[in-house]
Amino acid sequence: MSVRVRCLSFRQPYAGLVLDGVKTVESRWSPVLAPLENQTLAVHIGEELKLLERSAVLIGLQQKHLTHLSNPRWLKEPLSVRGGRDLFTVDVPTELGHQL
Per residue in 75-84, pLDDT tens? 888 888 888 8
Q: According to the model, what pLDDT value does residue 88 have?
A: 86
Beta-carbon contacts of 8 under 8 Å, excluding residues fewer than 6 positions away, are 26, 32, 33, 41, 42, 43, 44, 86, 87, 88
Say what the pTM is. 0.69
Q: Is 43 within 8 Å of 8 (Cβ atoms)?
A: yes
pLDDT reported for residue 51: 53
In the prediction, which pLDDT does 24 show?
A: 92
CA distance to 3, 22, 50, per residue, from 14 (Å): 24, 9, 12
